Structure formats: structure tokens, C-alpha cells
Structure 1
Amino acid sequence: MTPAPSTPALGRLLLTGAAGALGQQLRSRLRPRCTLLRVSDVAAMAAAAPGEEVVQAALEDQPAIHALLEGIDAVVHLGGISTEQAFEPVLQANIIGVYNLYEAARRHGVKRIVFASSNHVTGFYRQDEVIDATMPVRPDGYYGVSKAFGENLSRFYFDRYGIETVCLRIGSSFPEPKDRRMLATWLSYDDLERLVLASLTAPVVGHSIVYGMSDNARTWWDNTPARHIGFRPQDSSEPYRAAREAAQPTLDLQDPAVLLQGGAYVRMGPYE
């Protein structure tokens, strides 16, 4: 990535989910651009660096989340459960938690949120379909349902209160694609940074949904409706294609995880 400008441009920023893999990546990348970076997670985090505040808090703890938003200009919300699980923990962190965040943002006058949604909001579409964010959601599990709820809640808070949100339907963000499915869904860490920065700095975003993917040769997602964000990925999964296809030379076309965009998530559960 191009080095951050010498003058911070993002003001006082809150990053939730800072203990997670993507949170740790963004913490170091966003810090030089902020007047203050406040980081939060339910899990323990590294000690505060210069220009940081570290606050350990659970999203379902409403008073703690209201205090967390005090004095903040914008939020990058990665917090919550990030995998398919039983409904009760998803309910607490991803549904009650995202409500607490938006209500606190309303009370404290925060005007922009970047919300980490997920490709699992549309996981039951087929891999031989190309879809965009204007099409109906088809979540592939409780996790996907919770992210669809977050997208709808953020739309309500924009329509009612004017809080702008960019919902990032993140594909698969890792150092490199792990399997053949990720050749379509991969989002490099550098492109993740580009996506978040575009979402924070675009002059007007309203309520927008953008798929988080690199410039992969084959994909199932069309980001045309979100071009106003200004996200232009620069990496691609193509250099990894030969190795991933050699490791998985045949596909079982009777397996829903092969046919559907959500992969293995489409056949998880029940959990009783």
C-alpha cells in the first residue's frame, strides 16, 4: 500500500473487533491516519500505542457501548461473532450488539459507520450466478441472518437519523486464498485496507453495500452499484490458481458446498 499521508485524515475513529485477525490488520494500518484510534473487543488486546485508546467491552453491554462511542467521529465495526454458530450467541453479539452500537452512534452524533457484513448474507445463491447488492438476501445460516439484520438496521438508521453506512459483504480475507472457492471470494489485506479507507473517505455514501473482494478473474459478485464508493482493488487471486486447482483437482457437483456461494456454511447445523 501507499504510505499513509503525514496528516491524519480520519479524525477520532473507533475500531471494534480489534483483537480479531482483520481487526489486528486494520489497527496498525488505520492508526497513522487518525487523530485518535480507539480500539475495542470483548477479548484482550495489545496495549495502547501512541494515539490509541484500548477499551475491552462486550457489544451486548449497552452502557459500555454507549460510553465507547463518546467523542467518536466514525466507526469501523468488525466486532461480533464472525462464524456460523448456534443462534443464542449470534443473537447477543450480532443482533443486540449491533443495535447497541447504532443507538449509541445516534446519541453521540456519529455520522458514518463502516459495517462488516458478510458474503454469507447471500450464500444460497448458486456459484453459476452473478449477483449484486440490489438482489434479495439469501442468508446461509444464523450468522448470515444476523448480518442481514445489521444491513437492515443500518438502513433504518440512515433513513430515520441520517447515519451513513457502508456495509462490506466481506468475502474471504486472508494472506492468500486457501482453496478453490476462495479464488472467487478472496480479499487481500491491502485491498481490505483500500476498501475501508474508501468507505470512510468517500464524500457521500448514504446507505451502500459493497462486496469485499479483490480483482479476481472469476467471481460471483458485481460491485457496479457501489462504484461511487471509489473502491478499486489492485490484487488478484489469479497467481494462486494453479496451486489451488492442483490441490483440489475434482469437484463433487452433488455437494451443495460446491454448488452454492456460501460454501460449507450452507450445510452447517442444526445445533441442538
Structure 2
Amino acid sequence: MAHDRILITGGAGKVATLLRPRLARPGRVLRLLDVREPAPVEGAGDEEVLISSIDDLDAVVGATTGVDAVVHMGGQSRESDAEEVLRLNAYGTYCVLEAARRAGVRRVILASSNHAAGFHTRDEMPLPAGVSGRPDTLYGWSKVAAEAAGRLYADRFGMDVICLRIGLWFPTPPGPRGLAMWLSPDDGARLVEAALSVESPGYRLVWGISRNTRRWWSLAEGEAIGYHPKDDAEVYAEQLVAEHGEPDFAADPVLTRVGGQWCDVPLGRHY
């Protein structure tokens, strides 16, 4: 399925910055929407920049007009108060989905989060991507709301909506938790390309992780849409163990819960 013009919300963010050069293709244009100007990225292809917030429905409708698909990365990326996370993550996702519907865009990729399922534990391994929402924070709650909005637009309007429950999308695994939950930049791009390319997926939930030796989340749902990760956080294990000690994925609550230490963060705390 060809997608020659793709809207990326949150186009100036850290994840989008990793993604932009990896999505670059001859003949493909990435339209970047954010409240600030994206920094130049080496290897980026043809790009358009629009400055606006995702909670401005009219602006998002304008940004969505003429694109073939939307990759929704924008929003509040950390714990905050209820008004903030619901405005940007729940209402903002509504604006993106509604703009896509009005513009006739059939494919929307939503960046959800592991924190939408934060209180699920390793006892359920391999943990399916479609487990019910068990948010660990107000942020996680807002991501459950975003996933539900995606379900609504898939069911009611026949849109293809794939929600990526992202683990830890960083250049390298950030600490022992990353040995199980890391999503490498290259695998992140593979995941997004798979979500863009799969024929008629309807509504899907997929874990955003690499092929990590110590993973305990299922890769089956990603494989079903053509996502075949290649990277493994284990190549960083010696370095991480030397720095933090041998991780205990059977007993340490930070490592046995999907949401890790976020399960212990007071609701509404800014950090």
C-alpha cells in the first residue's frame, strides 16, 4: 500500500526525530505538525512543517487534508494533571481521528504506551498486546482513552487504526527494564512501516518492542501485521549489568510490572 504523503504529529519530538530519516523514501513527503519547529535531521527526506497544537481541530483538519496516512505521535508524554493529559492525549487524539475522517484518510497509527497497561504483570507472560487497559497513571489513563477513541473510529467509520503500545523507544536501552522492553530506532521504523503497509487491518493493538531475549510481551500481534523486529537489547546486557547489577525479572516490581516504577508515581505528579 503506497503512502506518498504522511502526517506525523509531534513531528519535533524525540521519537519523531528518530523516525523521520528512517521513513524517508524517494517520492514520499513527511508533513510534520508540532507546536515548535522541528530540528534538522541528517538523512531526512522531503518534509513539510506546520506549526499548531493537536487540540486545535480546525488546524489538524487542515494538516490532514491531502495526506494518505497519519502517524500520531503528538501529545503529553509524561505524567501530568488530569486536565493536561486529557486535553492533549484524549481530546488531541479525538481531533486527529476526526480530522482524518473529515479528510477521508483511512489509515491512522496511534502512539499509545505501555502505561495504558501498566499494572499487568509478568505472571501473564507472554503478555498479549490486546490485554485490557490497566493504566498506572493519569497519563496511562489518557492513553486508554485514546485507544478507545481509535476503536470507536474503526468500528463506526470503518477506518484502519493501529495502536502501538510502545515500550522504551530509545537509541539504547535506558536501564535494566529496557532489556525486556526496548524498541530500537530501526525496529520502531519497521513497526511503523508495517502498520502503514498491512492491508485492511481494521483495529489492532500491537506491542512496540524489539526482539529482546528477555522480553515477556507478545510479538505475535506485530508479526500478524508484518512487523518482524531484528534488534535485541541483550547486546547491551553486559554494560547494563555492570552498571546496575543483575536484574531480577521474577521478583523486582519495577521489572515484573508493565509500567515499572510508574506504578508507584503519585497521580498528577510532574516529573
With structure 1 as the length reference, what TM-score do the two structures score? 0.90
Residue among 258, 265, 268 paired with 1:268: 265
Calculate percent identity across the aligned residue pairs: 42
8 Å CA contact 1:10, 1:33 repeated in 2: no
CA distance in 1, matches of 2:11, 2:26: 16
Give aligned pairs, total: 265
SS of the aligned residue for 1:229 comes to coil
AA matched with 2:200: V
* Paired amino acid for 1:15: I
Measure, in 2, the Cα distance between the counterparts of 1:50 and 1:10.
14
Question: Counterpart of 1:5?
Answer: none
Is contact 2:222-2:228 (8 Å) kept?
Answer: no
Whether the 8 Å contact between 2:138 and 2:267 is mirrored in structure 1 is: no
| 2:32 is equivalent to residue 39 of structure 1 | yes
Structure 1 position 142, deviation (Å): 1.1
Indicate how the Cα distance of structure 1 residues 11 and 231 shifts in structure 2: closer, same or farther if over 3 A, else same.
same
2:254 pairs, out of 253, 257, 260, with 257
1:216 to 1:254, Cα distance in 2 relative to 1, 3 A:
closer
**Unaligned residue ranges in structure 2 (runs of 5+):** none
CA contact (8 A) 1:208 1:226 kept: no
Q: Please state whether the residue corresponding to 2:164 is helix, strand or coil.
A: strand
Structure 1 residues 36, 165: closer, same or farther in 2, change over 3 A?
Answer: same
- 1:76 maps to what in 2? 71
**Offset, 1:255:** 6.6
**What does 1:238-257 correspond to in 2, within 5 Å?**
238-249=234-245, 256-257=253-254
- Mark the runs of 5 or more structure 1 residues left unpaired by the alignment: 1-7
Give yes or no for contact 2:60–2:99 (8 Å, CA) kept in 1: yes
- Counterpart Cα distance in 1 of 2:27 and 2:122: 39
Deviations 1:165-208 (A, max 9, x none): 11111100111112111100001000001000011011221111
1:25 deviation in Å? 1.6
Q: Which residue of structure 1 aligns with residue 90 of structure 2?
A: 95
Aligned: 1:14 with 2:11: no
CA apart distance, 1:138: 0.8
Q: Does 1:169 align with 2:165?
A: yes
Q: Residues 128 and 249 (structure 1 numbering): CA distance in 2 closer, same or farther, change over 3 Å?
A: farther
After superposition, what is the alpha-carbon deviation per residue over 1:86-128, rounded to whole angstroms, capped at 9, x for unaligned? 2121111101111111111111100001111111111101234
Change in 2 beyond 3 A, CA 1:47/1:237: closer
Q: Deviations over 1:50-75 (max 9, x none)?
A: 73210011111121111111111100
| CA root-mean-square deviation | 2.2
Q: Secondary structure at the match of 1:53?
A: strand
Which of 84-93 and 124-133 deviates more? 124-133
